[in-house]
Every structure is written in C-alpha cells, then in structure tokens.
Chains A and B, each alone.
Chain A
C-alpha cells in the first residue's frame, strides 16, 4: 500500500484538540495533580472556615453564612494557583524536553496548536476547579453544621454565582499561563505572566490614579462575575468583555510568537 492510494484528507482542528487533550490529561501524573489540587482546595477551605474568627475579628458564630461560604472559596483560589503552574509546566516541559518539535511535526499549523492548547487547558482547568469550588463550598457547609449554625441557602442563586465565579479563576489564569509559556518557551514565563495579572490590582492600588485601571484588570472582572465585587465593581457584561479581551490578547501574543520562529 502506498500513500497515494489512501484517503489523505486533513485531520482538522478537532484532531489537534483531541491530541492536546490526550497529551494534557492522559498521564497518571496529570490525574494525580488534578486530585491534589482538589484536596488542597478542601484543606484550604477548612482552614479558612475554622480560623475565620481570628483572621477577620468576627467569631464564626457571628458571621453571616454567606461570608463563611466565600471564605471557603479561597480553597478554589489555591487550586487555581496549582492548576496555573501546571498549565505553564505542561508547555514549558515540552520546550525543555524538545517534545514540542514532535508536537509541531504532528500538527505543523502552529496556530492550530495554540488554539487547541487554549481550548483543552480551559476545559481541563475549568472542570477541576469547578469540582474544587463545589467541594470547598461543601466544606463550609460541614463547618457551619458542625458548629450548629444556620446554613447558607442552596436555593439562593448568589451562592452558586459565587461558586461558579470562584471556579473561573483557574481556567482564566491557566490560559494566560499557557500563552505566556508558549510565548517565552518556558514554565517560568507562563507563571510570571499569570502572576503579573494576579498582582496587577494590588500594584494599581499603590500608584496614584491606579484605581482607574482596576475595572480593566481581570481580578475585578472575576469578582464581578462572582457577585462579590461590591457596588462600584464593573458590570458583569463588561467583566466578560474584559476577560475575553485579556484572553484574546494573551493568545494572539502566543500565536504570533510561535508562528514565525524556529522550534
């Protein structure tokens, strides 16, 4: 059989996504890391719920149930940090070992690889962090019940908005980390890119007039979508736009860098 007699129609973008998904999630290492991120979320949630009295100056018994919930959701933030580093390492590791050359040989259209990476990392980090956020919320429920305090109302949409909002942090930052790692060809570059966006609101608070750019930063947008941004936070629609713009910017930069250079 020779190649010319076979169907050689293109494998398409779907194949690139399937390949990246297998690559990202198909190892025992990746599954253990995902499980570790969830366990970390539960542990951090428990710690923040149980220490809420000393850390906020308001005893657990005097806290509104919703505030105990949001404290527990810091566990999802911890999971997000882990998933962000993992996302950067998945790309950086390919550059370190040279496997990236196999990647670009298997899928020579590099823009397709960048996009497939983005789709898979958002899906994987989103799924894991959703589990982590729901788990963290349940931890707060256990803590409240254990203390014999009134529980938050599971029928309250604000609860699930907070949970879903907390779960958004990981896919967004993992995406930025992926783009940064592709751009810089290193794990460190990806981590720095994600951390830069993470600390940007704090830095903006230090410079005079910095507060004006706060609504344009992803931190405020994520809070707004979670419904915990406060009255002067951006409108959720604007928040979606802000996150989409940052994602597009990061991906465009990665795509541009990856396309024209030697691997």
Chain B
C-alpha cells in the first residue's frame, strides 16, 4: 500500500504539490490523473525518495521508500523511460539494476521476454524505438517481481497492441493482490485501465473515487432540434429539465432523458427534427473536476460541487 499524507512540494515560488493526502490500496489499479503540470510526477518522485518533500510524508508498506530493506523487490517503478544511458544495451541497462537488488542474470532475460523485447537485449538503447524504450522501462520495474508497481504515464509512445498489453499486465498485477499506481493525463486512457482514480489539479486532490462511481455520476444530456426551440425550451423548463441553446439552434437538455423529452414534445404537439441522447464521457467529468484548477477547497465537501468525489 502507498500512503501519502499532507504532502507538499515547493520549487521556489511554484507549489507543485499542495497538501496531498491519499492511499493507494492493493488489489486494484489506481489511476493518478491530472492535467499537465498538476504535480503527478513530482508526487511520484517523492514517493520514491528522489525529491525531498517540503512537508508531509509518503510511505510504501508503512515505511519511507529509502528505508525499505530491498526497495526494488518491493516497489517497481518507471518514472521516465528517457532517463537511460543511450549507449548501453537493453540487457546491460537491466543487468546493473538487477545487481543492485541482488537479482540474478536469468531474471534479466526473463523480463526482457515479458515485455516483448526478447532478442533485443544486445541492442544499444539509442537504437530502440520510443515504444521499445517504454517497454524496457517497464521491464526494469518488473525486475524485482514487486508487490507495488508505480508507473508514470506508461502508455506514452505505445502502439495499440502495446497499450492493450500494458492494461492486461496492470490488471493481472492487481488481480494478484498487488498495488498498482499508474499516472496519466488522459481520463479515457484510464477508463479502460483503472478501477479507481485519484484526480489532482494544481497539486491538490479533487477526486478520490471509483471509476464506476464516476461514470454513473457523469451527467447525460440530450440534443434536440425543433422548428420551435423557444417553445420547446419553455416546455422542458416547466417540466424540470435544464435546456440551453446550442450554437446551431439546437437545444442541449440536461436533467431529463431522451425518452421523456420525446414524450413531452408529443403530448404538446411540438415537432422534433432530431432527438439525440449523448452519453457523457468520463473525459467531461475529468475536465469538470480539474477545470477550476483545484481552486475549489478540496476538503470542504459541503460547498464544493466537486467535493462529492473526495472522501
């Protein structure tokens, strides 16, 4: 389990992480979401003991990463697949990491196979493609067969097959009862991967919620075209829906499903030219959550519209 408490990181005037508190539970894939610059990578660096927190704590299995007796056999991490020596071979890059953890050479070939880089061990990293480097980074994270996996944007640079492979890997890890924390700045990327998401914006937590819960809460809307938009709008408003005019003259209705809109229009003899239910995407929920840049007080669930997602 990963536990972060009141974590703050300042770089000069920049507050990269602003009082984060969360726990990452084993047995599920936790997505760590936030727009560019939200503080995800900074948080992960502090969890791994690379950056020193301004205040607060981050622990893995109850202890700071630095104090774990065999850190890479407990925690597998990939922060930046580009942070390698391009002149080394893929095998050589993994071998020195294996040595640091007291892991044998055989495991190096094993993880190269696991990530689909068998036969490439002897290639210089500079000759590997972006996606292959990403796979190599993941291989490094898997070396110690860790119980906790921390990956920063692991889907970057991967082809569709690679994305499916990483998803399967992460889900398999979670199913085995391991802890998986994986960051992304794309909600729809996480939709198919994570069971749970932590959403950060400007260094603050704006949501700590199950993906299913988030999907259920994402509001549906209905787009309606009618020769009498004003009359229809008035009708819908009286019935408790929230219609608003779109640029193309259509109405966008929230708070009422498509069937009910159609029934109301028929009952009042209003002609409809189009009636389109639009399923809200998680992406919209994400933008709504992070749109105010986390200025909404996170812990003040009573006043913040988004507060409902925060435990």
A binding-site residues for B, Cβ under 8 Å? 1-4, 6, 8-12, 15-16, 18-23, 26-27, 29, 93-94, 97-99, 101-102, 104-109, 260-263
Given A15-B99, A262-B50, answer yes or no on A26-B66 (Cβ-Cβ < 8 Å). no
Chain A residues, CB < 8 A from B177: 2
**B95→A26 contact, CB < 8 A:** yes
Sampled A-B contacts (18; CB under 8 Å): A2-B176, A3-B145, A8-B70, A8-B73, A9-B70, A10-B69, A22-B95, A22-B96, A26-B96, A27-B88, A97-B83, A102-B84, A105-B72, A106-B100, A108-B65, A109-B66, A262-B52, A263-B45
B80:A101 contact, CB within 8 angstroms = yes
**Cβ-defined contact, A3 with B140, below 8 A:** no
Which residues of chain A have C-beta atoms less than 8 A from B102's C-beta? Answer: 11-12, 15
B70–A19 contact, CB under 8 A?
no
6 smallest CB-CB distances across A and B, nearest first, come from A3-B147, A98-B83, A19-B100, A10-B69, A106-B100, A11-B102
1/0 contact string of B73-111 vs chain A (CB within 8 Å): 110010110111111110010011101111000000000
Contacts of B96 in A (CB 8 A): 19-20, 22-23, 26, 106
Inter-chain contact B86/A97, CB cutoff 8 Å: yes
Interface band, chain B:
35 or more
Given contacts A22-B95, A94-B85, contact A104 B178 (CB under 8 A): no
Closest chain-B Cβ to A135's Cβ sits at a distance in Å of: 27
Q: Is the CB of B72 within 8 A of A29?
A: no
Please measure, in the bound complex, the distance between the C-alpha atom of A94 and the C-alpha atom of B86, giving whole angstroms.
Answer: 11
Residues of A within 8 A of B70 (CB): 8-11
Chain A residues within an 8 Å CB radius of B147: 2-4
Residue among A15, A23, A106 facing the most chain B CB atoms (10 A cut-off): A106
* A-B contacts at CB below 8 angstroms, number: 111
CA distance A19 to B72 in the complex (A): 13
A101 to chain B, nearest CB (A): 5
Interface on chain B toward A: helix, strand, loop, or mixed SS?
A: loop
> Which residues does chain B contribute within 8 Å of A109, judged by CB atoms?
66
Contacts of A102 in B (CB 8 A): 83-84, 97, 140
- For B92, the chain A residues whose CB sits under 8 A away are 22, 26-27
Which of A10, A11, A20, A101 has the most chain B CB atoms inside 10 A of its CB?
A11
Q: Is the interface of A mostly helix, strand, loop or mixed?
A: helix
- Is the pair B178, A2 in contact by a Cβ cutoff of 8 Å? yes
Q: Give me the interface of B with A, judged by CB distance under 8 Å.
A: 45, 48-52, 65-66, 68-74, 77, 79-80, 82-89, 92, 95-97, 99-102, 140, 145-148, 176-178
* Bound CA span A27–B68, Å: 30
| 6 further interface pairs, Cβ-Cβ under 8 Å (given A3-B74, A22-B96) | A2-B178, A97-B84, A102-B84, A105-B49, A106-B97, A108-B49
Minimum distance in angstroms from B163 CB to a CB of chain A? 24
Question: Are A263 and B50 neighbours in the complex by a CB distance under 8 Å?
Answer: yes
In the bound complex, CA of A163 to CA of B77 (Å): 47
Please name all residues of chain B whose beta carbon is closer than 8 Å to the beta carbon of A21 when the two chains form the complex: 99
Q: Do the beta carbons of B69 and A9 come within 8 Å of each other? A: yes
* CB contact between A1 and one of B50, B71, B79, B145 (< 8 Å): that residue: B145
Q: What is the CA–CA distance of A29 and B72 in the complex, to the nearest angstrom?
A: 27
Q: In the complex, are the beta carbons of B97 and A8 less than 8 A apart?
A: no
Contact B99 A22 (CB under 8 A): yes
Q: Which chain B residues lie closer than 8 Å to A18 at the CB level?
A: 99-100
A106 and B101 in contact, given A4-B147, A10-B70, A98-B82 (Cβ under 8 angstroms): yes
The reply to whether A11 and B100 form a contact with Cβ atoms under 8 Å apart is: yes
**Residue on B with the closest CB to A116?**
B100
In the complex, what's the smallest C-beta–C-beta distance from A224 to chain B, in angstroms?
Answer: 37
Known interface pairs A26-B92, A98-B82, A106-B97; A3-B49 also in contact (CB < 8 Å): no
Query: Looking at B48, B69, B100, which has the most chain A CB atoms within 10 Å of its CB?
Result: B100
Contacts of B146 in A (CB 8 A): 3
Bound form: Cα–Cα A109–B100 in Å? 11
Q: What distance in Å separates the Cβ of A153 from its nearest Cβ neighbour in chain B?
A: 45
Residues from chain A with Cβ under 8 Å of B148 in the complex: 3
B1 to chain A, nearest CB (A): 11
| Chain B residues with CB under 8 A of A99 | 83-85
Q: B71, B95, B99: which contacts A108 (Cβ < 8 A)?
A: B71
Complex Cα distance A191/B71, Å? 33
A261-B97 in contact (CB<8A): no
Q: In chain A, what residue has the closest Cβ to B178? A: A2
Chain A residues, CB < 8 A from B89: 27
